[in-house]
Amino acid sequence: MYSPQVYLVHGSDDYLVAVKAQALVNSFPLVAQSPWALEVFDGRVTTVAEAVHILRACREAVQTMGLFQQGKVVWLKEAALLAHESVARSSQVRNALEAFLDSLRHGVPEGTTLVVSGPRLDPRHPLHKLCLEIGEVHDTGGADKRFQAEREARNELRRMLRQTGITMSPEAFEVFWEAVGPCPRLLANELDKLKTYLGERREATREDIEAVTTSSREHDAWQLADALGTRNLPRAVAVLRQLLFREGRNAEIGLLMALEARLRELLVYREALDRGWFDATTADPYRSRDTKGHKGWLSIPEDIRGILAECLPRNPLETHPYRATLLARQAQRFSLAELRRGHRSVVEVMEQYVSGEASGPAALEILLIRVLEKQT
């Protein structure tokens, strides 16, 4: 059976790349048999001289016989030098890379394997093209579109849970997800903390997650948006003050963006509720999705499905059942007119902050009162 001698592992998420590359390297029998069979070169360089040195060292390592045995594995790890704009454009680096690739075209010694891992390369990159010709390319994903990236990260979190043996209810899963965000490396770190906290237990509850999980800034903004969605003015003001005290005035625009995004989502769900496209009373957040979305969504015209899928940053039909039901029930607390006025108010205040007409926490607190007060 044919076995390639040159591998490229690349992608947009450095954690997924590292996991895939490490698994690939560990799968080679030579590495399992002897620690001397693996030579690792760190590609995290930021200067032209360092990049040229690493490329020449890798070329020499590939063409040199292994120490104490026939064959070896050469791993150019985290090869940022291939994608670093100022370094990769240097004529010295390009010449060193071309010399390295020429040596690979002329043949890799029998028993030697080269693995290059790092950030995503354009398909036109000479290394990518060469690996397609004489080796194997592994793309770990990390899609550019936000909803695709989140879907991949969710699947990775489920894989991590299976690997660690930790179980979560759908609600606890969403709480953990909202707290940590879609970065696989952060998910792994926080899951490791949670495993240590649980000890002999294997089921993680919402209380466990809230006790040990470090919230990201995105989660903090989500807490404010959630207080707005539940129409809880005292909590919204308290969360706002806490966030501004901790993060300072630099957080104001980000918080406004979170409020605008939540109101935009609630507008969609309020419209769906009014038109009979979503039933929040029978929707079960713990029930699995069918092929047309989860159980809360009813019959929707095909042209509306297309608008939801193509014209919104996040397709509501692809939203997790728990989150979709939560948003629909939040939308029930507002009329469509209230949501439209609230969204317009947030956009106006955001423009004032950007232009310098408004500043400080007072304008944000007044905004929350305007959005959350009952319209008479």
Average pLDDT, the chain: 83
What average pLDDT does the segment 16-38 reach? 84
Question: Do residue 221 and residue 208 come from a single domain?
Answer: no
Per the domain annotation, does 246 fall within a domain?
Answer: yes
What pLDDT score does 67 carry?
58
DSSP annotation of 182: S
What pLDDT score does 18 carry?
86
Tell me the pLDDT band of 218, cut-offs 50, 70 and 90.
low
Question: Do residue 84 and residue 166 come from a single domain?
Answer: no
Per the domain annotation, does 1 fall within a domain?
Answer: no
150: pLDDT strictly greater than 80 = no
Q: What is the percent of the chain with per-residue pLDDT over 90, rounded to a whole number?
A: 33
Whether residue 71 contacts residue 96, with contact meaning beta carbons closer than 8 Å, is answered with no
Whether residue 296 contacts residue 278, with contact meaning beta carbons closer than 8 Å, is answered with yes
Question: Do residue 63 and residue 155 come from a single domain?
Answer: no
Given 212, 245, 265, which residue is the final one in a domain?
A: 212
Question: Do residue 91 and residue 154 come from a single domain?
Answer: no
Given 163, 191, 212, which residue is the final one in a domain?
A: 212
Q: 156 — phi, psi (to 5°)?
A: -65, -40
Question: Do residue 38 and residue 100 come from a single domain?
Answer: yes
What average pLDDT does the segment 116-133 reach? 91
Q: Can you tell me which residue has the tokens 């419209």?
A: 271
102: pLDDT strictly greater than 80 = yes
Question: Do residue 200 and residue 268 come from a single domain?
Answer: no
Question: Do residue 194 and residue 247 come from a single domain?
Answer: no
Q: Please state the separation of Cα 345 from the chain's center in Å.
A: 31
**β-bridge partners, 119:** 11
Per the domain annotation, does 11 fall within a domain?
Answer: yes
Residue 4 CA to residue 57 CA, distance in Å, equals 21
1: pLDDT strictly greater than 50 = no
Given 139, 161, 177, which residue is the final one in a domain?
A: 139
- Judged by DSSP in three states, 315 sits in coil
What pLDDT score does 341 carry?
93
Question: Do residue 124 and residue 169 come from a single domain?
Answer: no
What average pLDDT does the segment 305-309 reach? 80
pLDDT tens digits for range 264-279: 999 999 999 999 888 8
Q: What angle do CA 219, 319, 237 make, to 5 degrees?
A: 35
Which CATH number covers residue 182? 1.10.8.60
239: pLDDT strictly greater than 60 = yes
Q: Can you tell me which residue has the tokens 């590359």?
A: 21
Tell me the pLDDT band of 288, cut-offs 50, 70 and 90.
very low
320: pLDDT strictly greater than 50 = yes
Per the domain annotation, does 79 fall within a domain?
Answer: yes
Per the domain annotation, does 285 fall within a domain?
Answer: yes
Question: Do residue 22 and residue 108 come from a single domain?
Answer: yes
What average pLDDT does the segment 345-360 reach? 86
Q: Can you tell me which residue has the tokens 């020449």?
A: 56
Tell me the pLDDT band of 3, cut-offs 50, 70 and 90.
low
Lowest mean pLDDT among 57-61, 147-151, 198-202, 304-308: 147-151
Q: 44 — phi, psi (to 5°)?
A: -85, 75
Question: Do residue 287 and residue 185 come from a single domain?
Answer: no
DSSP string, 183-232: -HHHHHHHHHHHHHHHTT--EEPHHHHHHHPPPPHHHHHHHHHHHHHTT-
Question: Do residue 198 and residue 314 come from a single domain?
Answer: no
Cut 0.75: pTM above it: no
In which domain, by residue range, is 91 found?
6-139
What pLDDT score does 148 carry?
65
Question: Do residue 86 and residue 163 come from a single domain?
Answer: no
Show Cβ contacts of residue 21 under 8 Å, excluding neighbours closer than 6 positions: 9, 75, 77, 115, 117
The total number of structural domains that make up the chain: 3
